[in-house]
Amino acid sequence: MLKSHLQQSTKSLIPWSTKPFIFSREILVFFPINILSNKNPRKNQKKNNFIVHYKAANSTKAVLSSTKKSMGVKLVVKVQKSVGGTNFGLSRGLDDLLGKSLLLWIVAAELDPKIGIEKPSIRIFANRGRDVDGETRYEANFVFPEDFGDIGAILVENEHKEMYVKNIVIDGSPHGKINITCNSWVHTKFEKRIFFTNKSYIPSQTPSGVKRLRERELVTLRGDGFGERKKYERIYDYDVYNDIGDPDGNDNGKRPVLGGKQLPYPRRCRTGRSRSKKDPLSELKSNFVYVPRDEEFSEVKSSTFSGYPFYSVLRAIVPALETVVSNSDLEFPQFLSIDSLFNVGIDVSRQGNKKKGMFDVVPRLIKAISDTQKSVSLFETPQLLQRDKFSWLGDVEFARQTLSGFNPFSIRLVTEWPFKSKLSPEVYGHPESAMTKELIELEIGGSMTVEEAVQQKKLFILDYHDLLLPYVNKVNELKRTVLYGSRTLFFLTHEGTLRPLAIELTRPPIDNKPQWKQAYFPSTWNATGGWLWKLAKAHVLAHDSGYHQLVSHWLRTHCATEPYIIATNRQLSAMHPIYRLLHPHLRHTMRINSFAREVLINANGIVETSFSLGKYAMEFSSAAYDLEWRFDQEALPQNLISRGLAVEDPNEPYGLKLTIQDYPFANDGLVLWDTLKQWVTNYVSHYYPQTILIESDKEIQAWRSEIKNVGHGDKKNEPWWPELKTPNDLIGIITTMIWVTSGHHAVVNFGQYIYAGYFPNRPTIVRTKMPTEDPTNEEWESFLNKPEEALLKCLPSQLQARQIIAVMDVLSNHPPDEEYIGEIIEPYWAEDPVINAAFEVFSGKLKELEGIIDARNVDSKLMNRNGAGVIPYELLKPFSEPGVTGKGVPYSISI
């Protein structure tokens, strides 16, 4: 009677959920304590007094007195404290009063061999215990039946406030210490969360006792595709980019939907928000943008984590800068005024933007001047300016950065001559280039003909002509921005460096004006030609900056990766080895992408107001996706081959011969690529020793199919999608994804402030047309009399420049808790001896890469990374200290 009374009393005091349990058979473990006592309930616990309650399916309840041996086992649940140090969950006093905080079910890995159904689960309560190293621990001691077998999973039901569960440790079982990595939010009673053990299984090898749970969890994560998503949900689903615009909030806020036949685009995570009243195709803006709960980092990571300063600077610093500059179109009066941004600063204390914690979040941007008690925006001097203040004016640095800057993905080998546009002549004018054979041979210096230069692989090009030309007339109708189609031609010298030969700028016909195009050339002996060349370079650099930000950076890393994240969570179980291989590379990206859609690439956001393409920026990225993006060419070797920068050669390291031997991005990138591929090869080969295991893996096949047909569904019929029939196929696919999220993103992101912090070196927008494009007499005379003023007027305005510098600074910053590739092993990998050994090799190779890069940077023969005033190429060094360092390769796209 006492035992029955205890059970009855407990259920009447605690309002357990009335939902049916997932399991039909369970063992209930209770502690022999008075839960209303103020005494510490753990003091009187005795292992031999535990009561085990057995609940059989479709039967009456009965108390078992098992004669089989059992063991006393301890369970600890580690819960992360919030950023401010407050514990998630109930207050200590109420926890002590109730004697429990978490309800857990321990699930056997295998079915009962005698009757072929799931074994009874062990149901226990975990009490709140100590706070240790920023964690709150919930503890339980319970009886572990000898015949229970291996543990397959643990179900967690949270009784109280949402909490972030880091891991669960079971110590004292017959199988030794068991670690279950969670790293997940557990909401209040909305579902029983399933956490599998750290041992990985492909579907065909799943232990029989957790097969149903494996399938059930995936069903939960997929959702049903209906309704607006709530903050606590973990549902992954697809949608088009219909949330860039804000038609209800701004007359100039409507933007086309990206995704579909007209504007192909990758898919983003579905939020299910209501539709706009003015534009039913667009989502309504709101203060909350859903991402699946486990993609959130802001309440768990410290305030120095990447997402915090990114969001803070755009929400706080940028508006402050707007109030400092009274005229948003005002240019800098002289270049000394630009220099003063880095040694004088501007007072923002009077702007009322001293929000709590803001100055701690972005310390590089805001300096407290103690003697004046002012808060001053004082930007750090970029490394480019520190090393050579005038390098940005020269052609050497202009050319070098195509190979060693933060956009080394655009330079291509010239394989055809003469250049000819593929666009319609009726719409865009004559297709022939203004770069004629005679003009180019004059620039080459008579050493060879153009045909010989092409044959000898001496000519290279930045070609934005046909990609930009359809947007030129539309953009030029906007206020204070000018666009052309452009080609920039380079010659490979015998020293292995590039020398600029010519720039061509084109404007298509408009109204009654015919097509305009002109070629410009370097000129050191002609003052007018020299200034026209400087202005032409500014236009090309703005084109390259726009392409870098919208295509090389946003589209090819952030945007293209989001479908991989969605498919991985929808189709691969959390116990799948490929899920666990990819997971560190997919962390935090969805949240940072949602931030970008709110304040960076949104209508009238930073990109639209400070880059040349204006409100057509995202349409342009769609055009680039349609014309250029191919999954197979996102792999570094295939990307280099596609641009003519390498050819296959089995006698060369990594099987490739580079067209430009001193190509720092390719030189270092191929070492990193090979290191990644070897790690992935060892990992995949361990779990897929036979080809049949790939073909029979229904999860991995569904994953590949969903990425192709849904996530990148606008390109589903392309013939270049890789097959997935063998382990080698999978190795290629996974290596490509990991490269994109790590090496590729590091290259295009973490050098931005170094090179673009001093914006004349990399202007993001040009605001005036070339002086030679249909000038009036007054315009031409003004240029001749004050060419420096013409250059200053064409560069970004004071407001645009300050905003871009601030954003570049934050984007280039590594937080103190950055997660670098290969630095710390994932718990899942560490518990498998084979994978643990492979990771040690992987980590060691990355450390070797650090030394390789250091050695290359001091080699005087490598002039694209060494020389007077030259910035060493370190963007692919795997590790870094915090801050803007121009090095460090994180696991994932987290900024």
Q: Indicate the DSSP class of residue 188.
A: B
- Tell me the two tokens of residue 477: 């109708």
- Whole-angstrom distance, CA of residue 769 vs CA of residue 370: 45
Answer for the pair 419, 430: CB distance below 8 angstroms, yes or no: no
Beta bridge partners, 125, equal 103
- Distance CA(487)–CA(504), nearest Å, equals 5
Of the candidates 548, 585, 588, 745, the residue annotated as catalytic is: 745
Residue 57 and residue 104: Cα distance in Å, rounded?
19
Q: Residue holding tokens 């000819």?
A: 420
Estimate the crossing angle of helix 664-687 against helix 395-404, to 10 degrees.
Answer: 0
Please tell me which residue in 465, 553, 583, 744 is annotated as part of the active site.
553
User: Hey, is 526 helix, strand or coil?
Assistant: coil
Distance of alpha carbon 852 from alpha carbon 857, whole angstroms: 9
DSSP annotation of 709 reads I
For residues 62 and 59, give the distance between their C-alpha atoms in angstroms, rounded to a whole number.
Answer: 9
Q: Is 686 a catalytic residue?
A: no
Distance (Å, whole) CA 226 – CA 536: 52
**CA-CA distance, 163 to 87, in Å (whole number)?**
8
CA distance 740 to 732: 12
Q: Does residue 745 carry a catalytic annotation?
A: yes
Residue 485 has phi, psi (to 5 degrees) of -80, 145
Catalytic residue list contains 548: no
**Measured distance CA(584)–CA(152) in Å, rounded:** 23
H/E stretch holding 283 reads none
Q: Which of 53, 187, 558, 583 does the annotation list as catalytic?
A: 558
- Specify whether 465 is catalytic: no
Alpha-carbon separation of residue 489 from 321, 573, 595, 810 (angstroms): 38, 50, 37, 33
Contact assessment for residue 153 and residue 192, using Cβ atoms and an 8 Å cutoff: no
Lookup: tokens for 263: 């504007």
Beta carbons within 8 Å of 3's beta carbon, 6+ residues apart:
51, 63
C-alpha neighbours within 13 Å on the C-beta side of residue 4:
3
Largest CA distance in the chain: 107
Cβ 608 vs Cβ 617: under 8 Å: yes
Say how many residues make up the chain: 895
- Whole-angstrom distance, CA of residue 808 vs CA of residue 171: 48
Terminal Cα-to-Cα distance of the chain (whole angstroms): 61
Residue with tokens 């800068």: 321
Radius of gyration of the chain (CA): 31
CA dist., res. 820 & res. 814, Å (int):
10
- CB-based contact 264:622 (threshold 8 Å): yes
Residue 870, C-beta contacts closer than 8 angstroms, at least 6 positions apart: 387, 388, 400, 863
Peptide bond into 418 cis (omega under 30): yes
Q: For residue 569, what are its two tokens?
A: 């969570």
- CA 560, 563, 568, 571 torsion-angle sign: negative
Q: How many CB atoms lie within 10 A of CB 342?
A: 17
Residue located via tokens 């996706």: 625
CA dihedral 416, 641, 504, 513 (to 10 degrees): 80
* C-alpha–C-alpha distance, residues 170 and 860, integer Å: 57
The yes-or-no answer on residue 558 being catalytic is yes
Residues taking part in catalysis: 553, 558, 745, 749, 895
